[in-house]
Amino acid sequence: MKKLLNTLFVTTPDTYLSLDGENIVIRQEENILGRYPLHNLEAVCTFGYAGVSPALMGSCAERSIGLTFMTRTGRFLARVTGESRGNVVLRKEQYRISDDERRSALVARNFILGKIYNAKWILERATRDYALRLDIPRIKKVSAALSESMNLVHSVEDLDILRGVEGSAAVQYNSVFDELILQQKDDFFFRGRNKRPPLDNVNALLSFAYTLLSNDVRSALESVGLDAYVGFLHRDRPGRASLALDMMEELRGVYADRFVLSLINKKLINPKGFYRKENGAVLMDDDTRKQVIKGWQERKQEKIIHPYLNEKISWGLVPYSQALLLARYIRGDLDEYPPFLWK
Amino acid sequence: MLVLITYDVSTKSAEGRRRLSQVAKKCLDYGQRVQNSVFECIVDTTQFRRLKFELEELIDEETDSLRFYNLGDKYKTKVEHIGVKSSYDMESPLII
Question: Number of structural domains, chain A?
Answer: 2
Q: Which of B28, B41, B94 is facing A8, going by the closest CB pair?
A: B94
Question: Number of structural domains, chain B?
Answer: 1
Q: Note the pLDDT of residue A1.
A: 67
Asked whether residue A125 is domain-assigned, the answer is: yes
Q: What is the CATH number of the domain that holds A191?
A: 1.20.120.920
Question: Given an 8 Å threshold on Cβ–Cβ distance, is A10 in contact with B42?
Answer: no
Q: Are residues A70 and A141 in the same domain?
A: no
The domain of A153 spans: 88-331
Interface check for B41 against chain A (CB to CB < 8 A): the answer is yes
pLDDT at B91 over 80: no
Would you call A79 exposed, middle or buried from its count of C-beta atoms within 10 A (0-12, 13-18, 19+)?
A: middle
Q: Are residues A201 and A317 in the same domain?
A: yes
Asked whether residue A176 is domain-assigned, the answer is: yes
Question: Given an 8 Å threshold on Cβ–Cβ distance, is B29 in contact with A290?
Answer: no
Q: Note the pLDDT of residue A86.
A: 65
Residue pair A259/A299 in contact by the 8 Å Cβ criterion: yes
Phi, psi for residue A203 in degrees, rounded to 5: -65, -35
Q: Are residues A163 and A246 in the same domain?
A: yes
Asked whether residue B29 is domain-assigned, the answer is: yes
Residues of B in contact with A34 (CB under 8 A): 88, 94, 96
Asked whether residue A336 is domain-assigned, the answer is: no
Residue pair A250/A339 in contact by the 8 Å Cβ criterion: yes
The domain of B54 spans: 2-72
Could you tell me whether strands A274-276 and A76-80 are parallel, antiparallel, or unpaired per DSSP bridges?
Answer: unpaired
Asked whether residue B90 is domain-assigned, the answer is: no
Asked whether residue B25 is domain-assigned, the answer is: yes
| B residues 55-84 lying closer than 8 A (beta carbon) to A | none
Q: Are residues A132 and A264 in the same domain?
A: yes
Q: Are residues A134 and A66 in the same domain?
A: no
pLDDT in tens, chain A (343 residues): 677 777 888 888 888 999 988 889 988 888 888 888 998 888 888 887 788 999 999 898 888 888 888 887 667 777 787 776 667 888 888 999 888 888 888 889 899 999 999 999 988 888 888 878 878 888 888 888 888 888 888 888 888 888 888 888 889 888 888 888 888 888 888 888 888 888 888 898 899 899 889 888 988 888 778 888 888 888 877 778 889 999 998 999 888 999 999 988 888 888 888 888 888 888 888 888 888 888 888 888 888 888 888 888 888 888 888 988 898 898 888 888 999 988 7
Residue type, A273: G
Provide the sign of the torsion angle of the four alpha carbons A250, A253, A254, A257, taken in this order. Answer: positive
Asked whether residue B94 is domain-assigned, the answer is: no
Interface check for B95 against chain A (CB to CB < 8 A): the answer is yes
**Final residue before a domain boundary, out of A25, A58, A80:** A80
Residues of A in contact with B43 (CB under 8 A): 39
Q: What is the CATH number of the domain that holds B67?
A: 3.30.70.240
Q: Are residues A190 and A327 in the same domain?
A: yes
- Residue A288 and residue A285: Cα distance in Å, rounded? 5
Q: Note the pLDDT of residue A251.
A: 92
Q: Are residues A122 and A70 in the same domain?
A: no
Minimum CA–CA partner of B26 in chain A: A21
Would you call A84 exposed, middle or buried from its count of C-beta atoms within 10 A (0-12, 13-18, 19+)?
A: exposed
DSSP A3-30: PPPEEEEE-SSS-EEEEETTEEEEEETT
pLDDT tens digits, one per residue of B38-53: 899 988 888 899 899 9
Strand, helix or coil at A217? helix
Asked whether residue A49 is domain-assigned, the answer is: yes
- Which of A39, A45, A303 would you mutate first to test chain B, the one with the most B CBs within 10 A? A39
